[in-house]
Structure 1
Amino acid sequence: MKPLTLWQYEVRRAGWAALLGPPIAVAVGVAAAVANPMPSDTTTARILLGTLEMALPLAAGVACASLVGRDPAVELQVTSSTAYRVTLLRRMGVTLGWTAAFAVPMAVVLIATGWWHRWPANHGAVVGQLTWVAPTLGLSALGFAAGAVFRSPGAAGALVTTLWAIQQFFAGAAQEHLPGRLLYLFATTRGAAPDDWTANRLTLLGAAAALIALAFVVLGRSERLISGEDE
């Protein structure tokens, strides 16, 4: 299979959740900023950066949660020359790349127009990109690992959305202790202790790496994947 054809196929197999999630997230976020009932530079900037930190990571996480279990004949996939877990990681890469295709231009526009710097806790134009990179990788890795463990896109997606909602609506409780602060997804727009932001972003990246490694190990057990199709 030619490389271009291969990637086109992986895009189709990633599914509509991966393709539609990011543009819808950006559209909703921009619409919310425009329709803000209390317009001010600070609140509008917070909504726009919140789109990057909250909406896009949720879309990516739900999409990655749906990757495992999409193939109707897994027993054929595990016998191919390319390991099935490599195929799934490739689809995860497609999903994350598509998310970045919307996040990066939006961040560039916000920086160029000055909206990025109108939020006091923006952390700069370069390092500040961890505003969306860290939670996107964190939630995506959680969804991917949950899909591998549960073998159920529904259960994996529910875990991602539940964690997102808990941290969204119970922000104070989520940050009462150091582990919660280090794993808090919305440290840029919902607040973080001055010395916690960098550690928080790095912890999320580390957690993402660990979860992807876990998924890689679990997906290597082909007999478990095949038996899961019969349940």
Structure 2
Amino acid sequence: MRPLTLWRYEARRAGWAALLGPPLAVALGVVAAWANPLPGETTTARILLGALEMAIPLAAGVACGSLTGRDPAVEIQLTAATSYRATLLRRMAVTLAWTAVIAVLTAAVLIATGWWARWPENHGPVAGQLTWLAPTLGLSGLGFAAGAVFRSPAAAGALVTTVWALQQFFGDAAQQNVAGRLLYLFATTRGAVPGDWAANRLTLLAVAAGFVALALVVLGHSERLIGEEDE
């Protein structure tokens, strides 16, 4: 199979959630900013950056959680020359690459139109890209690992959504201890202790790598995958 054909196939196998999720997340953020009843450009800028830090990561996390368990005959995949882990990693790469395209384009528009600079905690146009990158990878890694462990897209998506919602509703409590601050997904738009932002972003990236490593270990047990499929 030619490389371009292969990547097209993996994009289709990733599903509509991976393709439609990020642009819909941005669209909802724009609508929320337009319908914002609170006065002030700063509030509007916060909502727009919130689409990058909150909505896009949630969409990517749910999409990555749905990658495992979509194949109707895993035992056939396990006999292929390419390992099933490599196949799922390709699909995750497609999902995250498309998410990155949407996020970078959105950030570029916000920077060009001046909305990026209207939020005081924007952290600049370069380092500020961690606004969306760190939580996106963090939730995507969680979703990928949950999908591998549970073998259920619904369960993985529910876990990602629950973690996202808990951080939304209990953000103030998360700021009360070091671990909570380092793992907080919304440190750019919901606030962070001064000086903790960079450590928070790097921690989320490290956690994402750990989740992906866990997923690869779980997916390496082919007998477990076959057993789950037979149940």
Q: TM-score range by the shorter chain?
A: over 0.9
Q: Which amino acid aligns with 1:215?
A: A
**In structure 2, the residue corresponding to 1:118 is in which secondary structure?**
coil
Deviation string for 1:159-191 (max 9, x for gaps)? 100000000011111221111110000000000
Distance 1:62 1:222 in 2: 24
Structure-2 residue corresponding to 1:206: 206
Q: Cα offset for 1:73?
A: 0.6
Structure-2 residue corresponding to 1:115: 115
Give the root-mean-square deviation of aligned CA atoms: 0.7
Give percent identity, aligned residues only: 77
**In structure 2, the residue corresponding to 1:202 is in which secondary structure?**
helix
Q: How does 1:220-231 map to 2 (within 5 A)?
A: 220-231=220-231
Q: Cα offset for 1:195?
A: 1.1
**In structure 1, the residue corresponding to 2:36 is in which secondary structure?**
coil
**In structure 2, the residue corresponding to 1:39 is in which secondary structure?**
coil
Distance 1:29 1:39 in 2: 17
Distance 1:31 1:170 in 2: 25
Distance 1:59 1:89 in 2: 18
Structure-2 residue corresponding to 1:76: 76
Structure-2 residue corresponding to 1:6: 6
Is 1:140 matched with 2:140? yes
Distance 1:29 1:212 in 2: 28
Structure-1 residue corresponding to 2:192: 192
Structure 2: segments with no counterpart, 5+ residues: none
TM-score (norm 2): 0.99
Distance 2:112 2:8 in 1: 32
Q: Which amino acid aligns with 1:150?
A: F
Q: Cα offset for 1:23?
A: 1.1
* More moved, 31-40 vs 158-167: 31-40
Distance 1:43 1:172 in 2: 19
Q: What count of residue pairs does the alignment treat as equivalent? A: 231
Structure-1 residue corresponding to 2:183: 183
Q: Which amino acid aligns with 1:50?
A: G
Structure-2 residue corresponding to 1:35: 35
Deviation string for 1:119-155 (max 9, x for gaps)? 0000111001000000000000000001101111111
Structure-2 residue corresponding to 1:49: 49
Structure-2 residue corresponding to 1:15: 15
Deviation string for 1:39-70 (max 9, x for gaps)? 31100100000000000000000000000000
Structure 1: segments with no counterpart, 5+ residues: none
Distance 1:52 1:61 in 2: 13
Q: Which amino acid aligns with 1:14?
A: A
Distance 2:22 2:8 in 1: 18
Structure-2 residue corresponding to 1:58: 58
Q: Which amino acid aligns with 2:128?
A: G
Structure-1 residue corresponding to 2:217: 217
Distance 1:144 1:86 in 2: 13
Structure-1 residue corresponding to 2:96: 96
* More moved, 56-65 vs 39-48: 39-48
TM-score (norm 1): 0.99
Q: Which amino acid aligns with 1:141?
A: G
Q: Cα offset for 1:221?
A: 0.7
Structure-1 residue corresponding to 2:124: 124
Dislocated runs of 4+, deviation >2 Å: none
Q: Cα offset for 1:35?
A: 1.2
**In structure 2, the residue corresponding to 1:5 is in which secondary structure?**
helix
Distance 2:15 2:64 in 1: 10
